């Protein structure tokens, strides 16, 4: 690990050289130019690692990155400028503002499910904020990680940003180095270890984790539109999405029409026959044997406990493909209702009273996302008030993450901190509070000792007008 220590120290020695707004904008443009230069290599790498269709690469990995870079370059000078805040009567003669400074030295540990956007999006925020960065991409997508390293080395000097390869031991070593900030995207258990390691250096953290994101549907929902979005969101990247609808909570009166409509949507997207849906190249494959067997195990355990396979339930170990699967009659004691699925399996539970939705969702830790399909705005507002979640989609799934103006992140076990756009810039900056004396006349000297009646009278006057 000596080379990692040396790299860390080289970057650390350069922290006083803070890039200007123009330099940061140039860095972001250079990064985008390097992505374009390696576009073909990225498509090939993602096909090799995940079986991603070319269209998904553009729509889910490359286009969102372009939007993120454009937003940052367009607004960077405004983000960096001092932001005035109200000072108040008690501070007469002063003005106050907030100044964004770089946190300094950052570590980004990224996942395998969207290895381009979930690596480079936080890097965009880190560069916009003026930081130096070490990036550790996932070892589970080795071909894509190689291309990411080539992109970054083409765009930026190693003293500014460096990509390092390796397994869990490399990630563990890096987390114990005294970075100022660590951004980790991955599972909750590893996130806890990252946070513990960061605590030794009092480093701040951004954790994008996961959880079981429910999709709630009532009888007022537009069934055709809702199931089309549900089928897409559930099978996007073959279900390997941290904000995919993990399970469905459907009002009992529409449960049968819901399942019938879901079957029709799967047929529209992936072929009329279930065998065709299994082999469809319109979906990615499961990333590795471990995760494939884990998902199969969830299906088998649920069936053994009484769940019914309403659709799908087939798989091919050789290609690591699992057909879009719907499970009925699931219960909260089944692992498929306790663990994040991260695959194309949709358990369906029914409810009669809105309070049942709260009970079921609260049986698990706070989700990263929650989805509502309903025309009843009052009921949606009540669920949002009483059920915590990191993010929410109404009559839509997943799409909110594509808007760089919306802060993205979890709550408690599904994560902490926010990324994307201005929120990402602020998360990776020290938002420095500044108060400046602007006039020789001010009220503060009247509060200096020795105290007298005038001091108390002044305090009462100011208190009355605050």
Structure tokens, 450 = 């020795």
Q: Is 159 a catalytic residue?
A: no
Q: Is 235 a catalytic residue?
A: no
Q: DSSP character for 418?
A: -
For residue 218, give the nearest of 247, 246, 254, 257 by alpha carbon: 254
Using CA of residue 266, residue 272, residue 278, residue 284, what is the dihedral sign? negative
Question: Which residue in the list 47, 208, 251, 426 is annotated as catalytic?
Answer: 208
Residue 13, judged by CB atoms within 10 A of its CB (0-12, 13-18, 19+), counts as: exposed
Is residue 7 reached through a cis peptide bond, with omega within 30 degrees of 0 on the bond before it? Answer: no
The full DSSP string for 95-149 is EEEEEEEE--EEEEE--SSSTTHHHHHHHHHHHHTT-EEEEE--TTSHHHHHHHH
CA 272 to the chain's CA centroid: 34
Q: Measured between alpha carbons, how far is 46 from 407 in angstroms, rounded to an integer?
A: 27
User: Active site residue: 61, 242, 328, 426, which one?
Assistant: 242
Greatest alpha-carbon span in the chain: 89
The CA-based angle 244-64-221, given to 5 degrees, is: 40
Backbone torsions φ then ψ of 131, nearest 5 degrees: -90, 165
Enumerate the β-bridge partners of residue 216.
249, 372
How far apart CA 398 and CA 244 sit, in angstroms, is 6
Task: Give pairs for 407-411: CB < 8 Å, separation 24+.
Answer: 408/208, 409/206, 409/208, 410/207, 410/208, 410/209, 410/210, 410/211, 410/366, 410/367, 410/368, 411/366
321 in Cβ contact with 287 (< 8 Å): no
- Tracing tokens 């894509």 back to the chain, one arrives at 144
Q: How many C-beta atoms lie closer than 10 Å to residue 187's C-beta?
A: 15
List active site positions. Answer: 208, 242
């Amino acid at each position: 690990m000596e080379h990692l220590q040396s790299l860390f120290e080289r970057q650390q020695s350069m922290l006083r050289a803070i890039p200007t707004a123009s330099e940061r904008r140039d860095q972001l443009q250079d990064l985008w130019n390097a992505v374009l230069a390696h576009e073909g290599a990225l498509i090939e790498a993602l096909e090799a690692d995940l079986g991603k269709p070319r269209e998904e690469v553009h729509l889910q990995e490359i286009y969102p990155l372009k939007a993120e870079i454009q937003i940052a370059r367009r607004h960077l000078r405004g983000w960096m400028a001092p932001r005035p805040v109200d000072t108040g009567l008690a501070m007469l003669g002063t003005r106050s503002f907030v100044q964004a400074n770089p946190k300094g030295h950052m570590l980004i540990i990224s996942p395998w499910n969207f290895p381009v956007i979930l690596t480079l999006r936080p890097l965009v925020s880190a560069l916009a904020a003026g930081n130096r960065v070490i990036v550790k991409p996932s070892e589970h997508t080795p071909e894509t990680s190689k291309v990411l390293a080539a992109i970054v080395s083409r765009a930026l000097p190693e003293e500014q940003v460096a990509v390092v390869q390796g397994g869990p031991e490399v990630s563990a070593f890096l987390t114990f180095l005294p970075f100022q900030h660590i951004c980790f995207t991955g599972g909750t258990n590893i996130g806890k270890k990252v946070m513990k390691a960061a605590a030794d250096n009092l480093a701040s953290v951004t954790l994008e984790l996961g959880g079981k994101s429910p999709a709630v549907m009532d009888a007022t929902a537009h069934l055709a539109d809702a199931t089309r979005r549900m089928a897409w969101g559930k099978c996007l990247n073959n279900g390997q999405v941290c904000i995919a609808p993990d399970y469905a909570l459907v009002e009992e009166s529409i449960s049968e029409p819901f399942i019938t409509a879901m079957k029709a949507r799967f047929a529209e997207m992936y072929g009329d026959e279930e065998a065709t849906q299994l082999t469809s190249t319109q979906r990615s494959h499961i990333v590795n044997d471990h995760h494939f067997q884990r998902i199969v195990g969830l299906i088998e355990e649920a069936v053994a406990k009484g769940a019914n396979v309403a659709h799908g339930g087939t798989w091919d170990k050789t290609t690591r493909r699992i057909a879009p699967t719907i499970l009925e009659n699931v219960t909260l004691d089944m692992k498929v209702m306790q663990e994040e699925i991260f695959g194309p399996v949709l358990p369906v539970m029914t409810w009669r009273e809105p309070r049942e939705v709260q009970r079921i969702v609260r049986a698990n830790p706070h989700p990263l996302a929650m989805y509502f399909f309903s025309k009843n705005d009052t009921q949606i507002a009540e669920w949002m008030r009483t059920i915590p979640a990191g993010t929410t989609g109404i009559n839509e799934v997943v799409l909110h993450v594509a808007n760089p103006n919306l802060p993205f992140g979890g709550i408690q076990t599904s994560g902490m901190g926010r990324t994307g756009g201005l929120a990402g810039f602020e998360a990776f900056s020290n938002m420095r509070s500044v108060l400046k004396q602007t006039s020789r006349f001010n009220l503060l000297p009247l509060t200096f000792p020795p105290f007298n009646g005038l001091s108390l009278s002044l305090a009462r006057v100011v208190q009355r007008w605050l």
